[in-house]
Amino acid sequence: GSHMSCDIPVFMNARTKNDFTWFKLNDTLDYECHDGYESNTGSTTGSIVCGYNGWSDLPICYER
């Protein structure tokens, strides 16, 4: 489907400092992993973009 906005996603082992509860198309959400966790790119922070089909990625962090 296509939507023009994104709801706040489910965070796994991560948190965000954004206060927004919904995001417009092309809005960016920055997240950071909890201590001891990292994203699939090996970074402790990341950002995702709200696109036509929802978030570009999910804010998920894995145990190091």
List interacting residues with ligand NAG (CB under 6 A). 25-26
**Measured on CA atoms in the order 54, 61, 13, 48, is the torsion positive or negative?**
negative
Q: Nearer Cβ to ligand NAG, position 8 or 49?
A: 49
Q: Are 29 and 59 in contact (CB under 8 A)?
A: yes
CB of 45 vs ligand NAG, minimal distance in Å: 22
The CB-of-49 to ligand NAG minimum distance in angstroms stands at 8
CB of 15 to ligand NAG, least distance (A): 26
* CA 53 distance to own-chain centroid: 14
